Amino acid sequence: MKLPKEELLEIFRQTKALLEGHFELTSGLHSPQYFQCAKVLQFPKYLHLFAGEIAKHFEYSEIELVISPAIGGIVVGTEVGRMLGARTIFAERENGKMALRRDFEMKKGERVLVVEDVVTTGGSVEDVIGLVKDHGARLAGVGYIVDRSNGSVKFEAKTLSILQMDVVTYKKEECPLCKAGSKAVKPGSRALQ
């Protein structure tokens, strides 16, 4: 079952994972939308729904290990791992470089599924794929909830993204929302609470 896009967007709006208005992003760009995936994953039924889609897609891929880039991917990765009955770990940055810490192990030849919440540039997932290769493990798939790459990111394995959400951004000087007279708010600021 593929979840309909409009239904997914409605879940994101309801849980305030997706905000619509006029925002200044951390990059300094302006956008009519702001998305924070963690907001939807605080509800077990939605976590279960999204993780279930990913787990089902890789049900016959003989996944032995699920790994996620910290922090965003950990929650969904853990649920996918539970559903697949696979050992589940996460990678995190150490001096800027993606690494396995906490004595986590990846075995040679092990079939690995990389799970992430949101992919924008694909950098974190690519770095985790690099770890899989470095350890001589086998990349069996990549699963994530939201693809915000506007179609620019492709991984060299069986891939599932549940929702493709195009990102609209403007340079401050060119922002039509500013030109219309509204003022951008910074997400996470008090104005939004």
Rounded to a whole number of angstroms, the minimum distance from the CB of residue 25 to Zn ion is 10
Question: Of the candidates 29, 83, 177, 185, which one interacts with Zn ion according to CB under 5 A?
Answer: 177
Q: Which of residues 5-64 bind Zn ion (CB under 5 A)?
A: 30
Separation between Cα atoms, residue 54 and residue 110, nearest integer Å: 19
Give the Cα separation of 76 and 87 in Å (integer): 14
Binding part of the chain for Zn ion, among 4-12, 53-61, 138-146, 179-187 by CB under 5 A, reads 179-187
User: What count of other Cβ atoms lies within 10 Å of the Cβ of residue 51?
Assistant: 25
User: In the complex, which residue's CB is closest to Zn ion?
Assistant: 175
For Zn ion, the closer of residues 104 and 170 by Cβ is 170
# residues contacting Zn ion (CB under 5 A): 5
Task: Kindly report the number of other CB atoms within 10 A of residue 52's CB atom.
Answer: 15
Q: Which stretch binds Zn ion (CB under 5 A): 72-80, 100-108, 151-159, 183-191?
A: 183-191
The gap between the terminal CA atoms of the chain, to the nearest Å, is 35
Which residue among 178, 186, 190, 192 contacts Zn ion (CB under 5 A)? 178
Closest CB to Zn ion among residues 171, 190:
171
Task: Report CA-CA distances (Å) from 15 to 7, 37, 113, 140, 180.
Answer: 13, 10, 28, 32, 28
- Closest distance between Zn ion and the C-beta of residue 19, in Å? 14
| Least gap, CB of 177 to Zn ion (angstroms) | 4
Q: State which residue, 128 or 184, has the beta carbon closest to Zn ion.
A: 184
Identity of the residue numbered 147: D
CB atoms within 10 A of CB 68: 29
The tokens of 121 are what? 């540039």
> Which token pair is 98?
């993606």
Q: Does 185 sit near Zn ion (CB under 5 A)? A: no
**Shortest distance in whole angstroms from residue 183 CB to Zn ion:** 8
Which residues contact Zn ion by CB under 5 A? 30, 175, 177-178, 184
